């Protein structure tokens, strides 16, 4: 959900009372034409708001709380669950830990030093939704946001989730309201209140059997994605061949 241009202009005048639009864009590192187009349309993207907030040293969570739909964001931030943290570990890092454990049986899980790839990873959004799903998350999201379930599925397949839907998903799942914004890449883990070593700690705490099952599930998802991509490529080739 974009914020209204009127609300944005009021917020902008408060954090940068002496700067014009060009100044704001320069500080935020965004194109002036991008912001100008959004203002003309009457809607400014949440991504733009976050970029400007960072440029002026305003915590993005605090900035978003000014706008409708995000007022409860600061008060709803808490530590992510272990399930959320593990969901943000790539399949490569999961396999690396399995291999490390198999090669060093004398070490405990917590003794292993693990340098994880930064998030979000390829399947961050879907993995997070599955990790926090109380059982009917998609149904509740569709009912509360008015977004059709097929559209929600399309967003998840594409690895994205609109900010307002991500926050609503967190509300329904009763987890930190910033988590969905972290896994979509809108906020950094630090901005969302995620502990720096949280993912590695949660992953290393998993017993071998659970880790194997996790790796299996992640590879299954990856296999389906690769198969779907190959089928799409085959359809494209067939179409061009038919066109001569």
Domain that holds residue 157: 82-220
What is this structure's pTM? 0.86
Residue 214: inside a domain, yes or no? yes
For the chain, percent of residues with pLDDT exceeding 70: 91
40 and 90 part of one domain: no
CA distance linking residue 147 with residue 141, whole number of Å? 8
Residue 240: inside a domain, yes or no? no
Average pLDDT estimate for 141-167: 92
Residue 46: inside a domain, yes or no? yes
Omega prior to 61 cis, within 30 of 0:
no
Which of 133, 146, 186 has its CA nearest to residue 162?
186
Min mean pLDDT across 9-18, 27-36, 108-117, 198-207 is at 108-117
If pLDDT is split at 50, 70 and 90, which confidence band does 111 have?
very low
Q: Which residues contact 57 (CB under 8 A, 6 or more apart)?
A: none
132 and 38 part of one domain: no
- In the chain, the number of structural domains is 2
Residue 173: inside a domain, yes or no? yes
Answer whether residue 113 shows pLDDT above 80: no
Residue 243: its pLDDT value, please? 60
Question: Which tokens go with 199?
Answer: 């993912």
Average pLDDT estimate for 223-227: 83
């Amino acid at each position: 959900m974009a914020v209204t241009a009127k609300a944005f202009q009021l917020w902008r005048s408060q954090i940068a009372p002496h700067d014009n639009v060009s100044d704001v864009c320069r500080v935020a590192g965004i194109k002036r034409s991008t912001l100008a187009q959004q203002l003309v349309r009457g809607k400014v993207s949440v991504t733009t708001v976050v970029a400007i907030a960072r440029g002026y040293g305003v915590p993005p969570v605090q900035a978003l709380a000014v706008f409708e739909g995000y007022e409860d964001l600061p008060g709803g931030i808490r530590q992510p669950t272990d399930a959320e943290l593990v969901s943000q570990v790539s399949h490569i890092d999961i396999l690396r830990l399995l291999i490390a454990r198999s090669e060093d049986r004398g070490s405990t899980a917590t003794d292993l030093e693990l340098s994880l790839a930064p998030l979000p990873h390829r399947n961050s959004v879907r993995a997070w939704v599955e990790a926090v799903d109380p059982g009917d998350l998609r149904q509740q999201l569709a009912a509360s946001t008015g977004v059709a379930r097929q559209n929600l599925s399309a967003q998840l397949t594409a690895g994205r989730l609109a900010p307002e839907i991500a926050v609503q998903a967190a509300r329904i799942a009763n987890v930190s309201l910033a988590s969905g914004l972290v896994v979509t890449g809108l906020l950094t883990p630090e901005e969302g209140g995620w502990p720096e070593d949280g993912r590695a700690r949660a992953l290393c705490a998993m017993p071998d059997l659970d880790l194997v099952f996790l790796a299996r599930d992640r590879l299954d998802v990856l296999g389906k994605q690769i198969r779907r991509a190959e089928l799409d490529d085959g359809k494209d080739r067939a179409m061009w061949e038919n066109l001569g």
